[in-house]
Chains A and B, each alone.
Chain A
Amino acid sequence: MSSRPEMTPHDGPIIRMSGIRKVYDTGKVQVEALKGIDLSIERGEFVAIVGPSGSGKSTLMNLLGCLDTPTSGDFFIAGEKVAGLGRDALAEVRNRRVGFVFQAFNLLPQISAYENVEMPLVFGGVAPKKRKEKVTDLLAKVGLGDRMDHKPTELSGGQMQRVAIARALAMDPDIVLADEPTGNLDTTSGTDIMGLFLELWRQGRTLVVITHDLALARRAGRIVEIRDGKIVGDRPAAEAA
């Protein structure tokens, strides 16, 4: 438990990366997916990450979410050094600091929406009574108060992604990461989900979203463009037009 992250408020940037490299070693070939990323994200920012497929933006996202570990470079979340943390310490960072929304939802199919949202709270050791309040509240906020007992297979794509968003918010993370959250949805559902993200931003949350949807990217606060494993553009969204 000595490696447990301090949960004290932090004034500096919520995310600070410098010189981050990620090399995939496939045995014969070494692929350098990220070639030295320097990135800083402030609290309350809404960052859209754009770039062609294979540019390394998903790799960057997985690193941000501590789902993957960088080959080299420095990485701090809320001032705490993340690169080089042990397995369980990383699990704790994922649990408390980061909420992740996946393109493929990644809900567990055999359990209800309620139980899916409850999972991070269980792993975080939150008391059952508090869990119930939190899950009920979150599902109501994403508009699924009447679908809590449904299994993911009984929900539409948009509804599943709402469950996933509620799940990402369960532990009140410092930052919410979303990798192509509308990629598997139809236009209407996609617009809905994007509306939800904007709403979260207005409430003061820090968001990082990978998207192809330029309309959405423009509504974010800042657009970071990645190409070939490097950041090639980083500007306020207003200028993107």
Chain B
Amino acid sequence: MIRDALKQLHRDLKSQKLRTFLTVFGIVWGTVAVTLLLAFGAGLKKQLIKQTAGLGDRICISWPGLTSIPYQGLGKGRRIRITDEDLEAVRPRIDGLKRMSSEYSDGWKLVYNLKTYPIDVSGVSPEFGEMRNLIPQPGGRFLNPLDMRDQRRVVFLGNKFAEDVFGKGTDPVGKVVLMNGSPFTVIGVLVPKEQDSSYNSRDSDLSWIPGTTFRSLTGRKYLSNFVFQPATALQSKQVTQSLREALSRRLKFDPEDKEAFSVWDTTEQFQFFEVFMLAFSAFLGIVGSLTLVVGGIGVSNIMNVVVEERTREIGIKMALGAKQGAVLKQFLVETLLVTGIGGAIGFAISLGICGVFPESLVEYVGRPELSPTVALITTGILGVIGVLAGYFPAREASRLDPVVAMKL
């Protein structure tokens, strides 16, 4: 029976080239439009996330400043200075705080191969790398707790700076450079990353050494700023508030004094981003649905015409003893096959388009990401529309007395 159905199908498709082509085209078009739309949407979303996360993964950056509100008899304009010891003291009291690192920044000189380069140096702790997404290229590493404990003279370099100093094909790891007159060993180079914001230089131009090393070489006691990360983005406000209160108590400033202790909460950006992406997804969803509706109308129109055209054929078959089920099954199998082929072609075309997508555009709109699930769902919906559009008229036709159907 299956073989007969397939044979029959093959004949029908061959004898009805135009309408088969139109049906397949409708499904191909719908599948291509929707899968590409969603692929570009997904790519753009990923690219935006990547760029935003370039600065760090849901982090808050805080700077001590001058007090702007008199507090407990102390005048305003007083400089608030924070030490590592202050951070360590308040740290256990902050609920929901996942990571925290101080940062000491300065502009130094780096000498390599008799050439001198200006370099922005940050003294940080190992946790800093995790928070700020500083990922080492293969063969290198970021700072570790031993570096901190032993005040090692090791440096992790931004990728662009490393390239400027060592040239393109050279691996700087293990090389020794002079920084502010002291020899430092390069332990790693940053993996290039997308970064749409920063608070001094881009990470590609920076370098990081252990905070303890920085302090012992410079005698600096007070940190430039510090970075912390709440366990979840939702906790950022609460963690920031706890930190503000704990530090204000310890360092004696008004907890409401935003200038004494300013915080840049990058999770706010993420929150905006979430809303934006939601709106963006909704937009894509609406456009995609409309495309599907239009494609579906096309497919169902064609199926309708097909059944009308073939009512006589249905009548003849029934006159020869075909049962209603057999007549309907043929329409179903046919629609399913046409849909399947159309969906596969559509997905292949989308794949092709994504394959030739120009690399130069990836930085701006991201790399389109095709989803086979979306293709399946799209094709499925179009298929269901086609089946419904073909099924009901075919059922009507097969319910007629054969003599009536044959005369139509």
Q: Which residues of A contact B (CB under 8 A)?
A: 62, 65, 67-69, 87-88, 91-92, 94-96, 100, 102, 106-108, 110-111, 115, 119-120, 122-125, 128, 167, 171
**Bound-complex Cα distance A94 to B15 (A):** 27
Pair A92/B316 contact, Cβ less than 8 Å: no
Pair B406/A106 contact, Cβ less than 8 Å: yes
A94 in complex: contacting residue of B12, B320, B404, CB < 8 Å: B320
Pair B316/A123 contact, Cβ less than 8 Å: no
Contact A122 to B4, CB < 8 A, known contacts A62-B403, A67-B401, A87-B324: yes
**Bound-complex Cα distance A123 to B321 (A):** 6
**Bound-complex Cα distance A87 to B395 (A):** 12
Contact A92 to B320, CB < 8 A, known contacts A67-B402, A108-B313: no
- What sequence of 0s and 1s flags, for each residue 324-339 of chain B, a beta carbon within 8 Å of any chain A beta carbon? 1110000000000000
Pair B323/A123 contact, Cβ less than 8 Å: yes
Chain B residue, CB-CB nearest to A99: B320
Q: Which chain B residues border A69 with CB–CB below 8 Å?
A: 401
Of the A-B pairs whose beta carbons lie under 8 Å apart in the complex, a sample of 15, sorted by A's number, is A67-B403, A67-B406, A68-B402, A91-B321, A92-B323, A94-B320, A94-B402, A95-B321, A96-B321, A106-B316, A106-B406, A108-B313, A122-B4, A123-B326, A124-B321
Q: Which chain A residues border B4 with CB–CB below 8 Å?
A: 122
Interface centre among B316, B403, B406 (most CB of A within 10 A): B403
**Does B319 lie at the interface of the complex (its beta carbon under 8 Å from any beta carbon of A)?**
yes
| Residues in B18-64 with C-beta less than 8 Å from chain A | none
Contact A88 to B319, CB < 8 A, known contacts A69-B401, A111-B11: no
| Residues in B287-335 with C-beta less than 8 Å from chain A | 313, 316-326
Q: Which chain B residues border A96 with CB–CB below 8 Å?
A: 321
Pair A119/B325 contact, Cβ less than 8 Å: no
Pair B403/A94 contact, Cβ less than 8 Å: no
Pair B317/A119 contact, Cβ less than 8 Å: yes
The 8 A-B residue pairs with the shortest CB-CB distance in the complex, in nearest-first order: A95-B321, A110-B15, A67-B403, A123-B321, A120-B320, A67-B402, A123-B322, A62-B403
**Bound-complex Cα distance A107 to B317 (A):** 10
**Does B249 lie at the interface of the complex (its beta carbon under 8 Å from any beta carbon of A)?**
no
- Nearest CB in chain A: distance from B330 CB, A: 11
Pair A91/B318 contact, Cβ less than 8 Å: yes
Q: Which chain A residues border B237 with CB–CB below 8 Å?
A: none
- Nearest CB in chain B: distance from A87 CB, A: 6
**Bound-complex Cα distance A59 to B290 (A):** 50
- Nearest CB in chain B: distance from A154 CB, A: 14
Q: Which chain A residues border B1 with CB–CB below 8 Å?
A: 125
Q: Which chain A residues border B11 with CB–CB below 8 Å?
A: 110-111, 115
Chain B residue, CB-CB nearest to A98: B321
- Nearest CB in chain A: distance from B74 CB, A: 97
Chain A residue, CB-CB nearest to B16: A110
**Does B399 lie at the interface of the complex (its beta carbon under 8 Å from any beta carbon of A)?**
yes
Q: A67-B401, A94-B320, A125-B1 are in contact. List 15 more A-B contacts (CB 8 A).
A: A62-B403, A68-B402, A87-B399, A88-B324, A91-B318, A91-B322, A92-B321, A94-B318, A94-B402, A95-B321, A96-B321, A110-B15, A111-B11, A123-B321, A128-B3
Q: Which chain A residues border B313 with CB–CB below 8 Å?
A: 108
- Nearest CB in chain A: distance from B361 CB, A: 49
**Bound-complex Cα distance A119 to B313 (A):** 12
**Bound-complex Cα distance A110 to B325 (A):** 22
Q: Which chain B residues border A95 with CB–CB below 8 Å?
A: 320-322
Q: Which chain A residues border B325 with CB–CB below 8 Å?
A: 88
- Nearest CB in chain A: distance from B324 CB, A: 6
B316 in complex: contacting residue of A108, A122, A128, CB < 8 Å: A108
Contact A67 to B319, CB < 8 A, known contacts A108-B313, A123-B326: yes
Chain A residue, CB-CB nearest to B403: A67
- Nearest CB in chain B: distance from A189 CB, A: 21
Q: Which chain B residues border A94 with CB–CB below 8 Å?
A: 318-321, 402
Pair B401/A91 contact, Cβ less than 8 Å: no
Q: Which chain A residues border B317 with CB–CB below 8 Å?
A: 119, 123
**Bound-complex Cα distance A111 to B15 (A):** 9
Chain B residue, CB-CB nearest to A66: B402
Chain A residue, CB-CB nearest to B14: A110
Q: Which chain A residues border B402 with CB–CB below 8 Å?
A: 67-68, 94
B320 in complex: contacting residue of A62, A68, A119, A125, CB < 8 Å: A119
Pair A110/B319 contact, Cβ less than 8 Å: no
Pair A167/B401 contact, Cβ less than 8 Å: no
- What sequence of 0s and 1s flags, for each residue 366-408 of chain B, a beta carbon within 8 Å of any chain A beta carbon? 0000000000000000000000000000000001011110100
**Bound-complex Cα distance A92 to B326 (A):** 12
Q: Which chain A residues border B322 with CB–CB below 8 Å?
A: 91, 95, 119, 123
Q: Which chain A residues border B321 with CB–CB below 8 Å?
A: 91-92, 94-96, 120, 123-124, 171
**Bound-complex Cα distance A119 to B401 (A):** 19
Pair A88/B323 contact, Cβ less than 8 Å: yes
